[in-house]
A and B are shown apart, each in its own frame.
Chain A
Amino acid sequence: MAPNIDKEAEHLRNKARKELLGLLEGVRGKKNLVIGRDLTGLLSLFVQFPTLKEYGVDKVFELENGNTDSSQRNVVYLVHGEKASLVQSVAEQIKKLQRNGSVEHEISVCWVPRRTLVSNRILEDEGILGDVNVSELPIYFLPLEDDMLSMEMDEAFNDLYLRHDPSPLYLASKALMQIQQRHGLFPRILGKGDNARQLANLLLRGRRELDADDAATQYTSMPSTSIEQLIIIDRDVDFATVLLTQLTYEGLIDELVGIKHNRAEVDSAVIGAAPLQRSQTGSSSTSPPPAIRQGLKRRIQLDSSDSLYEQLRSSNFALIGPHLNKIARRLESDYEGRHTARGINELRDFVNKLPGFQQEHQSLAIHTNLADDLSKHTRSETFNRELEVQQNIAAGTDPIYQHDTIEELIARDTPLSTILRLLCLESTIAGGLRPKDLESFRRQILHAYGFQHLLTLDKLQTMGLLQPRSSSSALLLPVGGAGAPSEKGTKTNYGYLRKELKLIIDEYNEQDPEDIAYVYSGYAPLSIRIVQCILQKQYLQTLHKSPLPLTPSSTGWAGFEDILKSARGPTFNIAQKPADEKAARAKAALAGTGNWKTLFFMFVGGITFTEIAALRFIGRKLAESGQRKKIVICTTGIISGRSIMEGVIEKSNLGSRLVAA
């Protein structure tokens, strides 16, 4: 019996928990746990602090704090092994522990997701390789939801596009290989973009390596019968979508508050203090006592376990008010129900339902307050001017007309990230800024926000997000790939695709949207339109004015090949053939054809909440139209314009380290 593909998320969660706990069990007695900062939040996705306690964890420290004490003999390090600098600091801390400790420590190191040659070498050079127990915790994908697997790599975006370091691709290929090893090969791999192509190559290579290793299971020699295909989209095909302000409820929370590992930290002044002491979380023993923390921030869980949030998250923000109102009314009438409950039985029924009501009530209170707070921002003048500029640029008006507004926003000290997003958006959509304008904006930014941002601006240029029009790497791809080959543009041509794929939808029904454009109030994310080229050909045809070369049986990219030549990077379609044709056919016949098939999406370099909402929207549409298909979204991490800018903007300034003379 093949493993159930629908339970993949649950399987990954259980596996991660089991392996971590097994590891802790292997270290006998009580122990202190030292965790890399980027892992602390991540653990909470599959294990809770009380569970760790049951397994003998006394205290949890953050590696970056460097304050590990000697209170326990056993010390366990849990750290990402891919970054040499992290490995180095682990080595240094271990040496420090060995030197000062009055006790002789028993030290274990657990590398996530794998033990690397480099980490071995560093520990060896420090002379401690022999003194520590080394193991690995193979966590690649972590489930955020049942249909959402993320590698939760915060640095993936900068690794790929700023430093051109392909590590995330390799880890992504490992992650996807694990799925293939359980469920069989992806029968088809489709993709768009350079990194997508690289990843596909790594998957093919991975299969060969498995063959050589004799580690091939019955699944890796056979295309899967439960998976239809894997679609890989490279982020750099469509940067514009990330730069726009997301307008779904969840997207807006991420833009204004920030969501990490399904959680957001909200001012408790906004949503009220936490009711009683909520369950402790993984990293809490290093934090100040809860009383102090509650005064500032309160952590809320944002996932589908809260049915109210599940209903709200994907809606356009404009609808949240009415929606909350409706729920409040329903809840009230539910409470009223108690008056009509006469008989003992009815009363008992009511009392049984009461906890549910109360929970919903609490959740309603949180989201009402949160939505109210968000709408303070969305009603502010700067927010609306920002949105206006975005919409104009996205709709294709000459961006020069927006420059006055942007200059004014700079002079009024609007946060730098807002300004940079607008300029990057212009550069991305218009193929760079006129050199004269760019220089003027660069000057204004340095004057307004500090000369340290010379570094910030250079980084954005390296990433290809903010460039002069004269630069060769800023050129747009010629229309439909029809231009002369000498005209070597490399950037996605939004002007052309806006028309061909109907990226702007002027009139749409907000209440009951028919198009994914609702997530940006009129702009359809290009990345998701590209996915629709595969999955909803007929629908795109209705949006398109002239007939496309489509037949009812078209699959893959058929019909859209020429249009997609104007988006950056290669377009590809690979079929994975079974090693043994006959056996595969027999197996396929056995599995039947009427089954639900799962579609995997892989977003290399990150995905936004708006895109997730749009993909789920497509998933629903497919199901409504009678296609037995399910979707699973995979990504290197969840990103937003906010997180990109946070990763790029230089934090220190020329006076930050000065000592008063």
Chain B
Amino acid sequence: LRGKHGISFEAIARAAYDEGRGHLATTLLNHEPRAGKQVPLLLNMEEDEIALNKAIESGDTDLVFFVLLELKKKLPLATFLRTISDKPVASALVESSFRVSDRELLKDLYYQDDRPIEGSNLLLGEAMQQTQVQAVVDKLKLAGRLLTDAKDSTGQFHTKALTEAAQLLKMQEAFDKDITDGSGSYVGLSVNETMFRLIQSGYSKRAAKVQGDFRVPEKTWWWIRLRALTAARLWG
């Protein structure tokens, strides 16, 4: 039959499957060039892995994602994650699509794939959604805890940054309590912005403490002072 024009292997395969000859049907389907016709039948025949592979081969991401949705519904989570973990296209689609709708699934995925930094970043993202300072700090701590085993330099850099972020928030919260001159809240500003605001409002000592605590380089410090003082003089 090979080489004949316009033959639908899908139709033949479907017939074979209906006759109960599953293996023959799968073999026949290999000759079907139209993935759109191939994949749904394979799914019907419970040939999950083959269906997923064929969908990926076709390059049609709709088809891939369709198979993924079916599999996710059908399989236990761990099996599902294992199925996709060695298929970059499939994991990429799962990651990009579930970022909005199912973050818990992503956390499991990163955990299983041993990607602590991605997992930690998810929590950092959640930290930004919190409405109370304490809740933000808690999320940051959780994010940091995921990285405790990470020995590489990136992991260590992240751990340090997360600690600093929490430390800065605490400081800013204190500034908000002490300083009530109407210059606005400090919480959420960056380190440099915090120093800038403090100097501009005349709290140079506090600013110097921030510089010390976060080991801000001298050169940066002087540029910030210069900008802040100029700004303060301009507006009063």
Contacts and interface: CB of A to CB of B under 8 A. Distances in A.
Interface of A: 82-85, 88, 114, 116-118, 121, 159, 163-167, 169-170, 173, 198, 201-202, 205, 208-209, 211-214, 407-408, 410-413, 435, 439, 442, 444, 446-452, 454-455, 458, 652-661
B150 interface: no
Interface stretch (B56-64, B77-85, B201-209): B56-64
B232 interface: no
Given A84-B101, A121-B69, A444-B220, A173 B188 contact: no
- The binding surface of chain B is classed by DSSP as helix
Contacts of B227: 412-413
Interface of B: 5-8, 32-35, 58-63, 65-66, 69, 88-89, 92-93, 95-97, 100-101, 117, 121, 124-125, 127-133, 136, 140, 153, 157-158, 161-162, 164-165, 168-169, 172, 185, 187-193, 214, 216-217, 219-220, 223-224, 227
B191 A448 contact: yes
Nearest to A158: B96
A201 B161 CA distance: 44
Given A454-B121, A654-B165, A658-B131, A413 B59 contact: no
Given A208-B33, A454-B161, A655-B188, A410 B59 contact: no
Contact of A654 (B5, B95, B136, B223): B136
A413 B189 contact: no
Contacts of B63: 117
Contacts of A657: 128-131
Contacts of A444: 217, 220
Given A163-B96, A213-B34, A412-B227, A117 B136 contact: no
Nearest to A468: B153
Contacts of A208: 33
Given A209-B33, A448-B190, A408 B58 contact: no
Given A163-B95, A166-B89, 12 more contacts: A114-B62, A165-B92, A170-B59, A205-B58, A408-B223, A411-B220, A412-B223, A446-B164, A447-B220, A451-B164, A657-B131, A661-B133
Contacts of B140: 654
Nearest to A117: B66
B106 to A, nearest CB: 12
A448 B211 CA distance: 12
A412 B226 CA distance: 9
Given A656-B128, A656-B188, A657-B130, A82 B62 contact: yes
A440 B157 CA distance: 11
B3 to A, nearest CB: 11
Given A165-B96, A211-B33, A654 B127 contact: yes
Contacts of B136: 654-655, 658
